[in-house]
Amino acid sequence: MRIDELIVYRNFGEEGVLLEKIAWLMEHYKEENVSHTQKQKAFYECLHLLLALAEKNGFCGNLWHCYLSELLVSNENSYSCACEITGPVKGSINDAVLHDIEIFKELFEADFADLNKTIPVDGSVFIEDYTPAEQESKVYNSRIRDRICTLAKDLGNAGDASAMKEILTQFYKEYGVGKYGLHKAFRVLDTEEGTQIVPILNIAHVYLSDLVGYESAKKKLVDNTEAFVHHRHANNVLLYGDAGTGKSSSIKGIANEFYDQGLRIIELYRYQFKDLNDIIAQIKNRHYRFIIYMDDLSFEDFETDYKYLKAFIEGGLEKRPGNVLIYATSNRRHLIRENYSDKLDGELDMHTSDTMQEKLSLASRFGMAIYYGEPTPKEFRSIVLALAKKHNVQMPEDELLAAANKWQVSHAGFSGRVAQQFIDYVLGTLEEA
């Protein structure tokens, strides 16, 4: 197997270990100068790695084909990155890619049946027809996992390398490549190797339609995000207002609704502002549109961390890339704590207006501020009824609303969060009964 002859598709990292082991096995399993014990040991090790991969990723069917397909869709190279979102590209790179796909065609056609005749191993039939113990994937959301399994079938059935290349290129166009192509949301980790952007494997399946009310606020958010993903001018957005009103849920909603259009969300915490330049360096040349999301953003008047963010949004010498926006949520309209003394002639501050301008300067860099206010009692009841319908709560309406009103009195008042907590309580009570 000619894996050393690959030109474009190389450097598979840890995921490439299995490829090297199976390639070695396929090349040597008929050689008499290699002992049967050595061949059998190598076969068992490959089976172990394939099984572990299947259970981790939730793969089913032909595990070897699924594994090869995952290598192809995860490898970020000059061709795959050029094809993501935009589709087929022109140039000599296509000849080099076709050369590599011909090698992968040989890998797809590896004869495990003949291997198993030479090195009999009980239970090895699962390679070509595997049923996982659990359907859930620990790496991919179910939609992407299923698409990789489907891709494996399509590539396995392709007539030649050209057909395989066309199928793979179409996958890049529809789903992208690597971690940014296969995942919706990410977090930032500070590691010994530097700043790493890693996938969030289980993002909540929240959609804006699940958020009852706030139609005007949601429309502003959708319109701005839609302009951004379609490469039109768009603003950084601050979602502010009362606690529990759906600000964070709105961000999750747009992550789910605009994923197919190339939108990705990177969650960032305050103590990571210093990493912003490293983060931008990793994403600025990708074809995706990135929203850097900061939840519950606010500062006390003695904190100065916000200056990192202020310079990044607007004010630094380096221009912010066109594929990056900042979305933040906060309970404070102006983000930085304000005091009545700020408006008075302070005893120590000679230029009070300068102090006020400094405190407003961060919030003013968000071109769009969207308000989420506490719902009225009538709106709260509508939220409770909508959530009850969604979760199929079987309870008379008047009894449900009376219980919801008692619940909000002893909790945080009227809000969507309180309504959801009440419904969770009701569901738990009904399940116990």
Instruction: Give the model's pLDDT for residue 71.
Output: 95
Query: Is the backbone of residue 112 left (phi > 0), alpha (psi -120 to 50) or beta?
Result: alpha
* pLDDT tens string 218-237: 999 999 999 999 999 999 99
* C-beta separation of 416 from 253 below 8 A: no
Instruction: For residue 337, give Cα distances in angstroms to 293, 342, 354.
Output: 21, 10, 15
The whole-model pTM stands at 0.80
Residue spans of the chain under pLDDT 70 = 123, 135, 299-308, 311, 314-319, 334-364, 431-433
* C-beta separation of 384 from 403 below 8 A: no
Q: Is the dihedral of CA 63, 67, 68, 73 positive or negative?
A: positive
Domain at 198-372, CATH homologous superfamily: P-loop containing nucleotide triphosphate hydrolases (3.40.50.300)
Which is nearest to 68 in space by CA: 149, 141, 187?
149
> What whole-number distance in Å separates Cα of residue 384 and Cα of residue 387?
5
Which is nearest to 290 in space by CA: 254, 329, 323, 327?
323
Instruction: Give the model's pLDDT for residue 351.
Output: 47
Instruction: Give the model's pLDDT for residue 187.
Output: 95
> What whole-number distance in Å separates Cα of residue 235 and Cα of residue 225?
9
